[in-house]
Structure 1
Amino acid sequence: MDHFGEAVAARYDDGEGPEFVPGTIARTVDFLYAASGGGAALEFGVGTGRIALPLAGRGVPVRGIDLSRAMTDRLRAKPGGAEVPVTVGDFAQTVVPGTYALVYLVFNTLMNLPTQEAQLACFRNAARHLAPGGRFVVEVMVPELRGLPHGRNTVVFGTGPEGWAYTEYDTVTQRADCHYLRVTPDGRGSHRTVPFRYVWPAELDLMARLAGLRARERWGGWGHEPFTETSRAHVSVWQKPVGTEERVAPGSPTSA
């Protein structure tokens, strides 16, 4: 299901979170540019091109996959957007032409895949698209379970006069439903729920191994901050071995 339709896409680029700050975007692009080694890159969940467009502006050939037509329509309408080929489809399954020096997922997009099976399929799809020696880079939060008092399952992460946002956790299934409540100036309200599946760093490393990738590095942020027990997110890098056949699950992914 596409949870990023027209209503969300229309205001997505107006976001005020740290991921939209020019300095954060610059650090992200610097990191990915170095990881690509100047080779071609494939973004899973390319969205409106927040990262793809400045990365392409650095001379990296970028291609994208995204489930939302509304988001990718906005990418294509931006300056340089027509030069970034986009395939509409599920990035855990969709196959596009070519091999890439870099495949990447930013800002918790991996958690939009709501099951462990889908997340593992994403790693296998990344490995499928990587050239030998290529890297898979993922930015994702560390689960916020420390914010849950015993017996509670909700963490509020946004409050204001225009609405509220909170996450409802199921610690048995690792499902996390993010609820967004908005209030318009005329007093009307709306409620949107987006399902996620939170995932631990060690679990990601195991998924990578099952996909034939090797752990290379992990940082607390795009500026190469150390990853520690207090880090709230991480940027992890896995690499496809050189001279070793990839190990992927049998099956025929669909192209969109």
Structure 2
Amino acid sequence: MEEMDPRLYGARWAEHYDEWHAGLMDDEGSVAKLAELADGGPLLEFGVGTGRLAVPLAEQGLEVVGVDVSEDMLAQLKRKSDKVTTIVGDMTTVRVDQQFAVAFIAFNSIFVLPTQEAQVQLFRNAAAHLRPGGRFVLETMVVSGARPGDKGTFRVARIEHDKLTIVAGMADPATQFHNGVWVIFEPDGTKFYPIQGRNVTHHEMDLMAQLAGLELEHRWADWKEGTFDGNSTMHVSVYRKP
């Protein structure tokens, strides 16, 4: 599968991201838990996007630095607030001259990285920015990985008057690289919103954390510390720097 320019995601999605994702995630719960984990210390968000979490955290008086490769996403964030320090950069290599109480990446954003190597580098970069005892927090859906013979997925996401939204995607069983797209059909034309990256299981994240010198401290089914078990569809994993 051909990899797209990572900035294309932001260019296509930024204008509608907040509208389309409203109510899908537990914003209140995630902000409360991240603030608790930070305990007054500074936070670093990788893939900060439009500031769904960074802005309310900053409005609580916390110092928040947000990194994103997309200038379009950061422009949307700046329209909401000037309290978040933003940096245009690659989350796997960016360097901030500061140590943080919490580094985090929310709602599947680790999946946008295209390779296992890049995901490992993200863990190492997060660890390098944490102070001793600091935490790296990730939130993703629970994935089992693509299997041989997987024909991909296709579903109708939304039907409205004069508007149809469909979602399609395929994953490579050899690499777990996922290639997907949201397509919106309207009377004035068709619009494509691509999404790509590599699916990664929570088990694999644990190994990535070990490579980065981090230890699993908590794994919950949600931001309210629900028990993670075989029926969980999401997980919040907290890794601690010794």
Flag whether TM exceeds 0.5 (same fold): yes
Match of 1:55 among 47, 50, 57: 57
Partner of 2:149: 151
Distance (Å, rounded) in 2 between the aligned partners of 1:53 and 1:69: 16
SS at 1:10's partner residue? Answer: coil
CA contact (8 A) 1:45 1:67 kept: yes
Alpha-carbon distance, 1:158 to partner: 4.6
Instruction: Report how many residues are paired.
Output: 233
Partner of 1:126: 126
CA contact (8 A) 1:103 1:135 kept: yes
CA shift digits 1:20-73 (9 cap, x unpaired): 5xxx11001011011111110000011111000111122221111000000101
Partner of 1:213: 214
Question: Following superposition of structure 1 onto structure 2, how do residues 20-31 of structure 1 map, counting pairs within 5 Å?
Answer: 24-31=26-33
Question: Following superposition of structure 1 onto structure 2, how do residues 36-185 of structure 1 map, counting pairs within 5 Å?
Answer: 36-78=38-80, 81-143=81-143, 151-156=149-154, 158-161=156-159, 162-185=164-187
Which stretches in structure 1 are left out of the alignment for 5+ residues?
242-256
Partner of 1:250: none
Q: What TM-score, normalized to structure 1?
A: 0.86
Which stretches in structure 2 are left out of the alignment for 5+ residues?
none
SS at 1:3's partner residue? Answer: helix
CA RMSD of the aligned region, Å? 1.8
Distance (Å, rounded) in 2 between the aligned partners of 1:96 and 1:207: 21
Partner of 1:229: 230
SS at 1:13's partner residue? Answer: helix
Alpha-carbon distance, 1:96 to partner: 1.1
SS at 1:234's partner residue? Answer: strand
Distance (Å, rounded) in 2 between the aligned partners of 1:115 and 1:178: 16
Distance (Å, rounded) in 1 between the aligned partners of 2:10 and 2:235: 28
Decide whether aligned partners of structure 1 residues 62 and 183 sit closer, same or farther in structure 2, where only a CA change above 3 A counts: same
Partner of 1:5: 10
Q: What TM-score, normalized to structure 2?
A: 0.90
